[in-house]
Amino acid sequence: MPHPPTSRLAGHALVEALIEQGVDTCFGVPGESYLAVLDGFHEHRERIRFIACRQEGGAAFMADAQGKLSGRPGICFVTRGPGATNASIGLHTAFQDSTPMILFIGQVASDQRDREAFQEVDYRQMFGPGTLGMAKWVGECHDADRLPEYVARAFRTALQGRPGPVVVVLPEDMLTRATAAPVLPRALPAQAWPAPGALRELRSMLLAAKQPLMIVGGSGWDAESASALQRFAENWSLPVGCGFRFQDTFDNRHPLYAGDVGIGINPKLAQRVKDADLVLAIGVRLGEMTTGGYTLLQAPRPVQKLVHLHAGPEELGRVYAADLLLQASSACAGKALETLAAPLDLPWRAWAEAAHADYDANHVAPPVAPLDMAEVVKAVQRLAPADTVYTNGAGNYSGWLHRYVRYHGLQHHGRTQLAPTSGAMGYGLPAAVAAALLHPQRTVVNLAGDGDFLMTGQELATATAYGARKLISIVVDNGSYGTIRMHQEREYPGRVSGSDLFNPDFAALARAYGWRASRVDTTAAFEPAFAEALRAGEPTLIHLKLDADVSTSRTTLAAIRAAAQARDTAG
């Protein structure tokens, strides 16, 4: 029988509970409201580390990246009031991305509650759970003896069903009380398997189809389920697209891969989704970006037959009246689907081959001078190791990653794409720092826009402080909020307002933080600079100067403006 723990501060008990859950790294910004927890990190410093970040938004993004990479909740600590509000961007990202994460917030002392004490906020109101909220559950613990219970519940809630973020609020005085409460065992989610009758119905729908298409994505996949999903696709010769920013769910090098279904979608793939007579949406939320603004699949009743499999019952039928709804954990989905026996003759093999041919053709683009972003991204993947982690935030620049990186399926190297489906600017650099610290043996490449980078650029200091090594950040500088400028030219051609940027010398800025850095202005100069960054094995920033007219991987501002002016003239 294990001996019950001796009495210790509740803040120390919290750290012990995290260790029991398998946590060895936490991210955050220190605050006086949880000094007892910080002391607990010191007490147990041989078993767990606290990474002190430079801003709570960056810390929360790092925790989200941790959750994506590990499949277990990423951990973030912030102080009350401004700390919590700064961290809310990462919480919202984790919610929309279905990432398991726990945000611990220091709170005012219990005897000061409801007086609008210094930095006091009611976090149940602020982050209130719900299908359009920011958290799956918000709990506030006032009893030190119950703190391990709250931690265990937080882990289970973050992992259960559709994974997501949880908030645990920690009154300052509670953390300094003594408790002998034991920590609870490691939380594991209950796994859901689709009903056998529903699987039989799915097989019947497949047998009746002529042009099926599978769209996969979402969180909660493991290597075994991803491998089983690939075998299911192979058995049935199904063309496979990956949902918005979940491109590493299925191996992009596979002959059945059709491309990414998200922003900047290949027009031929978009038409193929519309032309399909059966769409299997497996693990992915059918949100605005994956459905092309709810047009590829018309809401609420698609023209195509629709099968939707998802871990969260609240997601099934939320927007679409599908023909078949299956609740199943992503970790079970592939294994369940591969049990469906396929006939020897499938009428859509040519359809699947054409889908992959369209994907291959989408990698060919007309050259752009003097700096060709397509060639930049192709050079990155050609030179970087196969298990490289790619990160980005929000902005038109990310379209080059989506289009030209061929992500390996997660059964090969785990997650290799860290990107916010929430469209949060500033995500990429903190996510890259987290990946580099959590997996120091892997190369991490962050592609950032100039506006995106300066949202969280101060986390360069975190990388330096904690010894990140194999980390490369490529900053694409076109002197504008490119996505906004694109929309301006489309809706109000030639009337630019608020989207121009004044930028620093990004290479000089990186050097000030202790990074290596260089500037690249031409396509020919990029590959040597990137190769040198790989050889150096030190955090390196490469500053790319891009012409502002180069708007996306498919068009220019001049072309958008001309089309808009022609439209307005005709109208």
Q: Does some domain include residue 297?
A: yes
Reduced to 3 states, what is the DSSP secondary structure of residue 119? coil
- The pLDDT score that the predictor gives to residue 459 is 98
Same domain, 292 and 200: yes
- The pLDDT score that the predictor gives to residue 130 is 64
Domain boundary among 179, 210, 244: 179
- The pLDDT score that the predictor gives to residue 1 is 43
- The pLDDT score that the predictor gives to residue 124 is 87
**Per the structure, how many domains does the chain have?**
3
Q: Does some domain include residue 206?
A: yes
pTM (two decimals)? 0.96
Q: Does some domain include residue 3?
A: no
List per-block mean pLDDT (blocks of 10 residues) for the chain, which spans 571 residues. Answer: 75 98 98 97 98 98 98 98 96 97 93 81 83 87 97 97 97 97 94 93 98 98 97 98 97 98 95 98 96 96 98 95 97 97 96 98 93 97 97 95 95 96 96 98 98 97 98 95 86 89 95 98 98 97 92 86 86 73
Same domain, 524 and 405: yes
Same domain, 416 and 560: yes
Cα 80 to Cα 103, 127, 164, 172: the distances in Å are 11, 13, 21, 10
Reduced to 3 states, what is the DSSP secondary structure of residue 28? strand
Measured CA to CA, the distance from residue 59 to residue 152 in angstroms comes to: 22
Helix (H) or strand (E) holding 6: none
CB-CB contact of 474 with 381 (8 Å): no
- What is the edge-to-edge ordering of all strands in the sheet holding 305-310? 257-261, 240-243, 212-216, 278-282, 305-310, 324-327
Same domain, 309 and 456: no
Instruction: Reply yes or no: is the peptide bond before residue 370 cis, omega within 30 of 0.
Output: yes
Same domain, 139 and 33: yes
Separation of first and last alpha carbons in the chain:
81
Residues contacting 204, CB < 8 A, separation 6+: none
Measured CA to CA, the distance from residue 241 to residue 250 in angstroms comes to: 8
Tokens matching residue 168:
């645990």
- The pLDDT score that the predictor gives to residue 513 is 98
Q: Does some domain include residue 366?
A: no
Instruction: Reply yes or no: is the peptide bond before residue 366 cis, omega within 30 of 0.
Output: no
Same domain, 356 and 501: no
Measured CA to CA, the distance from residue 40 to residue 12 in angstroms comes to: 4
Tokens matching residue 15:
């750290």
Q: Does some domain include residue 1?
A: no
Same domain, 309 and 438: no
List the domain range (segments joined by +) for residue 88: 8-179
* Other Cβ atoms closer than 10 A to 126: 17
Residues contacting 45, CB < 8 A, separation 6+: none
Same domain, 326 and 426: no
Q: Does some domain include residue 156?
A: yes
Same domain, 377 and 290: no
Domain boundary among 340, 361, 382: 361
CB-CB contact of 100 with 159 (8 Å): yes
Q: Does some domain include residue 204?
A: yes
Same domain, 172 and 213: no
CATH number of the domain enclosing 335: 3.40.50.1220
Closest CA to 96 of 525, 416, 533, 424: 424
- The pLDDT score that the predictor gives to residue 108 is 85
